[in-house]
Amino acid sequence: MSAPETAIRKTLADANLQLAIYNNTGRFKENRRRAVAPDQLPEYEDLRTRAAAIKRHTLSFLDVYLLQLESAVEDSGGKVIWASTGEEAADFIVKLAKEREANLIVKSKSMTSEEIHLNDRLAHHELEAVETDLGEYILQLAGQRPFHIVAPAIHMTRNDVADIFTEKLGIEHDTVIENQAMTARRVLREKFLSAGIGITGANFLLADSGAVVIVENEGNARLTHSAPKVHVAIAGIEKVIPRARDLAVFLDLLGRSASGQALTSYTSIVTGPRRQGELDGPEEFYLVLLDAGRTKLLADPEQRESLQCIRCGACLNACPVYRKIGGHNYPWVYSGPIGKVITPSFQGKEKDTWLPFASSLCGACAEVCPVKIDIPGLLLKLRKELVTANPADRSAFQVWAWLMRRPGMYALAARIGRSLMGFNIGPLAAWRSERDLPAAPRKSFRELWKERKK
């Protein structure tokens, strides 16, 4: 499939949206830069190296760590559910909800649940799942998918939010952000108190202790995993790290890379359900470990590096393409540079073949990646796999390569090419659709050189 050009054109032409994307990502980007600068975090480069090494190591021994995780979760009174597909994950939650007679479910932010369209699947069984992260809540009301991995409603203005609240909640139009937050808080408080199940994601899973680690800024994840009687955490299998002590490396990097925060406002480390004598916490705890394409990616030596991702979103904020086209023009829930490399692996490389080519290969993403994923390198590898599908393009490059090995022919062809630059055809027209083309010089360097030597 080719790129959604009309939708992209619409995004590019929307001046308010452009400003919102560019300014918000710019703020994150600048905050990140300051937070990892040598005066703030002198060990930043060492931490990145260490984080990448831990991830690579864990992925190399994923089978071992997952089983260790499972037994640690069980030791602490929880249960692990292995889900090969999104459907299996949803089926488990539906069955659990029916058994516990929980028709209302609260959810904290989880890209993994977005990935498998969990809310739609639950709604299909007449289960109401309410998003409790403010951004996600707004999007749920608006019927949109996240625009950004960590800041899902980054594209919306306070006016947009006021419109949505008025339409969906029937309240008066109010553009004061604090009031909007209070409205959400009031609505959501009741949901927390009456929900039978709380679903969270997980930023990290600790194999040695069976703990689920959740970082957030609003406190909603904390309520989600502690207020309802049942806590279900859903996470991709790549989220496991070996030891609790490894967490120190990642917590130093995640908040800083995402938003420039040394630490997010809340960090929950949850180990199993409430134990005897404890006052808080759920009565039951389930960890749904999702494959849904991850083992396939792990088996792909060219692309598996992308499983190192900790979903900080730094690459989105750094990406000049994301900062123009925004999150909704990418075909899947994961947008930006990381979306560009994982979407083909998860959704099928034959689909959306344009995606790996929609990059200037500037490398800004790799520069900010806290776990050192070589995103441009992965894009190049994807391109290498995809070009076989384009015979006309291939022939053109074959001719090109033939010429480039024959200097005389190259010089001649280039001279002819220069004389054609005034025409408005093919790539020349595409170039001129956006900018001017310089007039071709009368003589090439090699011609000038020859004259000079005479």
List binders of another protein among 55-94 (CB under 8 A).
56-57, 60, 64, 68, 71-72, 75
H or E element that contains 71: helix 62-75
**What are the φ and ψ backbone dihedral angles of 97, each rounded to 5 degrees?**
-65, -40
Q: Which stretch binds another protein (CB under 8 A): 143-151, 198-206, 216-224, 382-390?
A: 382-390
Of residues 23-62, which lie at the interface with another protein (CB under 8 A)?
Answer: 49, 52-53, 56-57, 60
Instruction: Go through the chain and tell me how many residues it has.
Output: 454
Contact 375, 315 (CB under 8 A): yes
Structure tokens at 316: 């989105």
Binding of another protein at residue 320 (CB under 8 A)?
yes
Beta bridge partners of 205: 212, 240
Residue 130 is classified by DSSP as E
Shortest gap between Cβ of 154 and another protein (angstroms)? 17
Q: Cβ 96 to another protein, closest distance in Å? A: 27
Cα separation, 383 vs 113, in Å, equals 29
Structure tokens at 136: 């996600």
Task: Name the region of 260 (left: φ>0; alpha: ψ -120 to 50; beta: rest).
Answer: left
The token duo for 20 is 């919102």
Using CB under 8 A as the binding rule, whether residue 22 contacts another protein is answered as yes
Q: Say how far apart CA 146 and CA 139 lie, in whole Å.
A: 7
Side chain identity at residue 262, one-letter code: A
Restricting to residues 129-188, which ones interact with another protein according to CB under 8 A?
none
Q: Could you tell me the smallest distance in angstroms from the CB atom of residue 450 to another protein? A: 8
Among 34-42, 92-100, 119-127, 370-378, which window interacts with another protein (CB under 8 A)? Answer: 370-378
Q: Could you tell me the two tokens for 290?
A: 């999702």
Q: What is the secondary structure of 298-340 as a DSSP string? A: HT-TTTGGGGG-----HHHHH-TTHHHH-STTSSSSS-HHHHH
Tell me how far, at minimum, the Cβ of 369 lies from another protein, in Å.
Answer: 12
Candidate list 123, 248, 380, 420; residue touching another protein; CB under 8 A: 380
244 binds another protein (CB under 8 A): no
Q: How far is the CB of 360 from another protein (least distance, A)?
A: 3
State in angstroms the smallest separation of the CB of 321 from another protein.
6
Q: Count residues contacting another protein (CB under 8 A)?
A: 78
Is 14 a binding residue for another protein by CB under 8 A? The answer is no
Q: Binding to another protein (CB under 8 A): which residues in 418-447? A: 418, 427, 430-431, 433-438, 440-441, 443-447
Q: Is 394 among the residues that bind another protein (CB under 8 A)?
A: yes
Pick the binder of another protein from 158, 168, 189, 243 (CB under 8 A): 243
